[in-house]
Amino acid sequence: MKAVLSLLAVAFLVTFASHAAAQHSLPPVPDDRIADYAGVMQVDDRERLSRELQKQFKKNQISVYVATFQSLSDSDAAVADNLRQAWVAEPQGFIVLYNQHRDKLSISLTKEVFDRFDAAGELQELGAQIDVINKAGPATSVPLTVHSILNKLYPVDDGSQALLDNDARKAKWSFIVPGLIILAVIVYGLRTAWVRLKSQNVFKRSETLPVSSAQPRFGSSLGGTNFASVKFRQ
Amino acid sequence: MRCPSCLTPVTGPVAECPACGMSLAKLDAKFKTVPRHLRFITDHVSLFTAEDHEALASQIEALEKQYAGLHVSLMTLELPANINLREYVFWLFNRCRFGPADAKLGRNYSVVIVIDVTSGSVFMSTGFGFEQWLQDEDLQAILDAAIPQFSKNRLADGCKIILSSLAAKIRTICAENPGKKVRTPSPPARIEDL
């Protein structure tokens, strides 16, 4: 049955415009640029990535979409190309597609982006990079792939804040948090030492007690005659 | 001032009490052995925890640093029952020499606090340097401030309050008598142990 359907599809594609046919079976353009049909992305990660993609679009007019599927009957590359043609209307853009069944990432770049990588001789490097990222698992690899491509197109040095991915932020905090803890410990230590020294009157000049007149009594030259007592147990 | 033994009021230098004949030499024969004592705190009956001991010692040290010549000693003892405690504290004060050797008469600013677990009492006495500044009623007021803690058997907390009250009282004395100089009279030759 599956084979028959495939044959029919092939016949249909051959008979009519393959591009138009593919578009008919494709999902609609996602509002937030992410179509997570496989449900592999965390809500927070998805929202963060979506914000970055929208920010990139406003800033650099680059249209990026992410799509994840549980499985695909067609080849991943073909679906990615179709999605790119259907969703990306701008000259600059790309699609990152994840097939959960095959556990594989596929990228489809617009011609302009492809040419930029090609001209810079970075296509192979990008492929190798994505192969490495691919092993990280979908939750991490999808945003990493997006960032990796965007990083090459718009390096962080150019001021693209969107390229600061979650890992970079974590790395930043990994320095700030211990630093703050160490600073707090130092401040606490200094404060404790200050309070202790102050309580011991280290910073105060010794006061002089008033001189007293006294005469020896009962054979004593020291004192002990003034006296008071209180009971703490009856 | 009063005789530590019979509480007869006494004015002027006397070798022994004109009423009961009490003198330091006679008390030597009565009490005999002087208990050993350490700087700041001598806890013979282990009333204080290590933390309390350290806290009290720090409080005393701070007080002594603030007032040159002041020596505060805290001692816990288990005295025999039915002893005249006022006599004993007078004798202890003079024989233990809590302050430096040259701190005599008006230069003796020692303060001794004694806790006796047998009678369940706390005593306080001062050197001649404080005689006119810390009268019996002043010392009583200082001890009374610690009664709430003592009644809960929190002896260390009570002692901390005593030290705080003492510090407050000395501060008042110094503020009310700035730079007051009083000549310390020479001791009479007839008293041998001077």
Give the bridge partners for A95, in sequence order.
Answer: A65, A108
B103 touches chain A (CB under 8 A): yes
Looking at B32-154, list the stretches that DSSP marks H as alpha helix, in order from N- to C-terminal side: 50-66, 85-96, 136-144, 147-151
Distance of CA B49 to the CA centre of its chain: 23
Instruction: Output the pLDDT for position A95.
Output: 92
Chain A residues touching B67 at Cβ < 8 A: 206-209
Instruction: Output the pLDDT for position A128.
Output: 81
pLDDT digits (tens, 9 = 90+) for A78-134: 999 999 999 998 888 999 998 888 888 888 999 988 888 888 888 888 888 778 777
Instruction: Output the pLDDT for position B180.
Output: 55
Question: In terms of CA atoms, which chain A residue is nearest residue B126?
Answer: A224
Does residue A16 or residue B105 have the better pLDDT? B105
Average pLDDT over residues A194-204: 73
Average pLDDT over residues A59-75: 89
Contacts of A190 (CB under 8 A, 6+ apart): none
Instruction: Output the pLDDT for position A206.
Output: 66
Inform me whether the pLDDT recorded for A188 exceeds 90.
yes
C-alpha to C-alpha distance for B74 and B84, rounded to whole angstroms: 19
Confidence of residue A160 (pLDDT cuts 50, 70, 90): very low
Instruction: Output the pLDDT for position A165.
Output: 57
B72 touches chain A (CB under 8 A): no
Contacts of A55 (CB under 8 A, 6+ apart): A161, A162
Average pLDDT over residues A203-229: 76
pLDDT profile of chain B (194 residues), mean per 10: 84 84 88 86 92 93 86 92 89 84 80 92 90 88 92 91 92 77 39 37
B181 touches chain A (CB under 8 A): yes
DSSP code for B178? T
Chosen from A198, A199, A229 to mutate, greatest number of chain B CBs within 10 A? A229
ipTM reported for the complex, 2 dp: 0.78
Reading the block at residue B162, the tokens are 């005593």
Nearest to B131 among A226, A229, A232 (CB): A226
Chosen from B94, B140, B180, B184 to mutate, greatest number of chain A CBs within 10 A? B94
Instruction: Output the pLDDT for position B142.
Output: 93
B134 touches chain A (CB under 8 A): yes
Of A34, A29, A33, A22, nearest to A73 by C-alpha is A22
Confidence of residue A224 (pLDDT cuts 50, 70, 90): confident
* Residue B162: Cβ within 10 Å count: 27
Identify each DSSP E strand in A70-204 by its residue range: 93-99, 104-109
Instruction: Output the pLDDT for position A167.
Output: 62
B8 touches chain A (CB under 8 A): no
Cα dihedral B175, B179, B182, B183 sign: positive
Confidence of residue A205 (pLDDT cuts 50, 70, 90): low
Instruction: Output the pLDDT for position B125.
Output: 92
C-alpha to C-alpha distance for A209 and B103, rounded to whole angstroms: 13
A225 touches chain B (CB under 8 A): yes
